[in-house]
């Protein structure tokens, strides 16, 4: 996997990484991380460290790469510039590449004319006409240059994508790609070919956006006399309506954001496994190790899948419910860092069935730790009148004031049900009014079980406040 440190890591990159990782592990290969930082204009300081951390946060590790090293290093492209120069020089010697001294101004003017004439925008090869002596002289004077690849004109470049099959492109339609920029830094297309060969990469599994680049890379493998790897271009992740690639208008797109919202890594990975691959049966739930055993390139999809947040929620809820109380307490602590561990341990089983994301606990439990405010209409639940609510709360206060043991949930429940029965109140109506009076919310963890956390004084105080509001 070769992240570019140009910003936050997209969740789609995690899917690509997942498939690469599973394929490498299934066949006892090495999984390598390489940082492709040759796009210096879009380079973001600190992005490399953030990307590596989010990869770890999703539960992955790598066999070779940054922080670990390995026999194919260095694993950061800007630390490999001498390597790229060496191979660019070889292409020039063989006549497969050439020096180009054209200024940016000339190239801009050239493209303007091509656009006016409805011509394909590509370099006009002016510098290809230079003699060796002219090139040598201009190099000796220190003139700025780039190295361009010489694309065969009268040729059809053919290659096979594992998912899409045979793809053909006319050589005359491909621009003479820049291989080395004027600052000595390679372009993506050149660097990846050199690196993938030297790092013994057998399979290139990446997004379908890179399909247009592949013919140039196929040519480079041929020019060098190297074996071409297997290319596997994965489908995009689509918005839920399938009208475009996954975008921010439907929420998060960055891998870290999903974790920050309280999605579990194992739930996200399980969800992503099935966005572009299927096991051939109706199974839905896979651990990472199970996925590694089952994964195969043959079951990758040709049709782009929709990123359905509801389905992700379904997976996340499933994995949350599998956590035991101690595990869930540890996870909840991230979202409720100021709350005592013992209280969280008590709340964990009350919350487990009621949350879809871990972040849901913040709103669900806010009333236990902060003052609540609400309009009086909130208290008039299920048709309850002002008079009835005041009666309910008044009699409940008197009952609770007599209660000595404040952590006996069964006793609480029995006493309240007896009170409801004696007064011929509607049970559902009473508990909705009771819940709102204590929390200001219609949805909470089981409200009776929450009384021990609220405490006697605060519980009675809130019921009195409810009467005051009316």
61-78 pLDDT tens trace: 999 999 999 999 999 999
Provide the pLDDT confidence category of residue 381 given band limits of 50, 70 and 90: confident
Average model confidence (pLDDT) across the chain: 95
Per-residue burial over 427-460, b if 16 or more Cβ lie within 10 Å, else e, is eebbbbbbbbbbbbbeebbbbbbbbbbbeeeebb
pLDDT at 296: 96
Say which range, 281-285, 339-343, 376-380, has the weakest mean pLDDT.
376-380
Provide the pLDDT confidence category of residue 312 given band limits of 50, 70 and 90: very high
139-177 pLDDT tens trace: 999 999 999 999 999 999 999 999 999 999 999 999 999
Provide the pLDDT confidence category of residue 291 given band limits of 50, 70 and 90: very high
Say which range, 28-37, 235-244, 334-343, 382-391, has the weakest mean pLDDT.
235-244
237-290 pLDDT tens trace: 999 887 888 887 777 899 999 999 999 999 999 999 999 999 999 999 999 999
Residues in contact with 350: Cβ distance below 8 Å, sequence separation at least 6, in sequence order = 445, 446, 449, 450
pLDDT at 360: 97
Domain ranges of the chain: 81-209, 324-360, 371-469
115-135 pLDDT tens trace: 999 999 999 999 999 999 999
Which CATH number fits the domain 371-469, given the four candidates 1.10.10.10, 1.10.10.350, 1.10.3480.10, 3.40.50.150? 1.10.10.350
The residue whose two tokens read 């006016």 is 116
Number of Cβ within 10 Å of residue 221's Cβ equals 16
Strands (E) in 125-279, as ranges, are: 146-149, 156-161, 165-170, 178-180, 203-207, 230-234
Strands (E) in 268-355, as ranges, are: none
The answer, as to whether pTM is greater than 0.85, is yes
- Give me 274's structure tokens: 């099935």
Class of domain 81-209: alpha beta
Provide the pLDDT confidence category of residue 408 given band limits of 50, 70 and 90: confident
Which residue among 94, 248, 414, 442 is the active-site one?
Answer: 248
* Torsion over CA: 462, 463, 467, 470 (sign): positive
As a whole number of angstroms, the distance between CA 2 and CA 80 comes to 14
Mean pLDDT, rounded, for 389-408: 92
Mean pLDDT, rounded, for 344-370: 96
pLDDT at 231: 97
- Let me know if 248 is a catalytic residue: yes
The helix (run of H) or strand (run of E) holding residue 260 is helix 255-261
Provide the pLDDT confidence category of residue 21 given band limits of 50, 70 and 90: very high
Report how far Cα 38 is from the mean position of its chain's Cα atoms.
23
Q: Give pairs for 429-436: CB < 8 Å, separation 24+.
A: 429/381, 429/382, 429/383, 429/384, 430/392, 432/381, 432/382, 433/379, 433/381, 433/384, 433/389, 433/392, 433/393, 434/392, 434/396, 436/374, 436/378, 436/379, 436/381, 436/466
């Amino acid at each position: 996997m070769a992240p570019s440190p140009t910003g936050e890591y997209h969740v789609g990159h995690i899917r690509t990484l997942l498939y690469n990782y599973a394929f490498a592990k299934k066949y006892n290969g090495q999984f390598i991380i390489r940082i492709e930082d040759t796009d210096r204009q879009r380079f973001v300081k600190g992005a490399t460290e953030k990307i590596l951390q989010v990869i770890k946060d999703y539960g992955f590790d790598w066999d070779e790469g940054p922080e670990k090293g390995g026999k194919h290093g260095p694993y950061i492209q800007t630390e490999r510039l001498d390597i790229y120069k060496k191979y660019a020089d070889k292409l020039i010697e063989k006549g497969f590449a050439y020096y180009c001294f054209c200024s940016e101004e000339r190239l801009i003017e050239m493209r303007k004319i091509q656009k006016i004439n409805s011509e394909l925008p590509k370099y006009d090869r002016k510098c290809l006409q230079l003699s060796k002596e002219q090139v040598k002289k201009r190099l000796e004077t220190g003139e700025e240059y780039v190295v361009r690849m010489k694309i065969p004109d009268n040729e059809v470049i053919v290659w096979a994508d594992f998912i899409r099959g045979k793809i053909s492109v006319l050589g005359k339609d491909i621009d003479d790609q820049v291989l080395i920029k004027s600052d000595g830094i390679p372009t993506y297309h050149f660097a990846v070919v050199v690196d993938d060969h030297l790092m013994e990469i057998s399979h290139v599994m990446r997004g379908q956006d890179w399909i247009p680049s592949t013919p140039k890379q196929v040519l480079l493998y041929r020019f060098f006399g190297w074996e071409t790897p297997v290319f596997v271009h994965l489908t995009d992740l689509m918005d839920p309506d399938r009208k475009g690639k996954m975008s921010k208008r439907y929420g998060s797109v960055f891998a870290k954001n999903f974790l920050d919202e309280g999605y579990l890594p194992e739930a996200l990975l399980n969800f992503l496994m099935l966005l572009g691959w299927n096991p051939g049966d109706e199974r839905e739930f896979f651990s990472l190790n199970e996925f590694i055993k089952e994964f195969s390139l043959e079951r990758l999809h040709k049709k782009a899948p929709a990123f359905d947040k509801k389905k992700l929620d379904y997976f996340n809820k499933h994995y949350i419910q599998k956590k035991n109380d101690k595990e869930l307490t540890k996870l909840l602590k991230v979202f409720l860092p100021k709350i005592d561990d013992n209280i969280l341990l008590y709340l964990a089983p009350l919350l487990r069935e009621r949350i879809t994301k871990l972040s849901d606990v913040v709103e669900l439990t806010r009333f236990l730790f902060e003052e609540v405010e609400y309009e009086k209409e909130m208290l008039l639940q299920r048709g309850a009148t002002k008079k009835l609510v005041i009666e309910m709360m008044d009699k409940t206060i008197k009952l609770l004031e007599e209660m000595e043991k404040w952590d006996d949930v069964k006793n609480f429940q029995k006493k309240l049900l007896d009170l409801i029965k004696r007064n011929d109140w509607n049970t559902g109506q009473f508990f909705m009014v009771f819940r709102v009076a204590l929390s200001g919310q219609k949805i909470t963890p089981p409200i009776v079980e929450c009384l021990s956390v609220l405490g006697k004084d605060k519980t009675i105080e809130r019921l009195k406040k409810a009467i005051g509001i009316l």
